[in-house]
Amino acid sequence: MSGRIVLITGGAKGIGRAIGLDLASSGWDVAFCYRKSDAEADETVSLLKKAGRRVLAERCDVSDPDAAARFVGKVERDFGPVEAVINGAGPYHRVNIMEETAAGWREMFSNNLDSVFYVCKAVSSGMKARKRGRIVTFSMANADQMIAQPGLTAHYIAKSGVLILTRTLAKALAPHGITVNAISPGFINSGSAPEAELADMAKKIPAGYVGDVKDCVAAVRFLLSDEARYVNGTNIHLSGAWGI
């Protein structure tokens, strides 16, 4: 996988950062975008440069179709053809459905679903021309269950939509040598939750423990590998059996 270019949305911290650092250690050049995390982005750039790879970081809201297209264009002009895309951006908020605002509702869809479509559309033309590409999306572990989520409604519906979009893109792009797959994490220790909260989470997980970002990294590495060339349109549950 050495010498390839990966584009990561939401790559400044957490799972996105872990994926970028791992791929850089394997010889990938990394371009990532973020919305607000300037300090974390600067730190991530420094860490990636220590791996000796080229790095491009930009503050960009990819829920804006024009901004998404510009970012993809800049990466391809400055770095070269994008071999893989990791759609890691996915903020959420908890609010009772009857107290949700129009702005909050729209934000969850814009940043979790619309952004995936815009980035994939922008990058797919180059991948189609080269007859090669890997796209990975992130949903959530119980999004395929279509259960009631009164406190997380908009985010949950958007993540369910990500799964439908993933399968649709997989079918549309498969004739061009492109795979599109989803990873659906459950509880993952991405560095933001306190230990007490993690311990409480573990009680809800059949495996008995909270996952680590390295579990997400391992799933991504497989989906980007040549061994996964025939894996297309799938959804990998990464949850220790929670949410199934």
pLDDT in tens, 174-221: 999 999 999 999 999 987 777 888 889 999 999 999 999 999 999 999
One-letter amino acid at 62 equals V
Residues in the chain: 244
The candidate with the shortest Cα–Cα distance to 127, out of 17, 25, 5, is 5
- What predicted TM-score, i.e. pTM, was given to this entire model? 0.95
Does 145 map to a domain?
Answer: yes
CATH number of the domain enclosing 75: 3.40.50.720
Determine contact, residues 108/154, Cβ cutoff 8 Å: yes
What radius of gyration, in Å, describes the C-alpha atoms of the chain? 17
Does 200 map to a domain?
Answer: yes
- Number of domains the chain contains: 1
pLDDT at 38 over 70: yes
Does 243 map to a domain?
Answer: no
pLDDT digits (tens, 9 = 90+) for 96-118: 999 999 999 999 999 999 999 99
Does 244 map to a domain?
Answer: no
Does 227 map to a domain?
Answer: yes
Does 231 map to a domain?
Answer: yes
Dihedral pair phi/psi, residue 97, rounded to 5°: -55, -35
Domain span at 163 = 5-238
Does 116 map to a domain?
Answer: yes
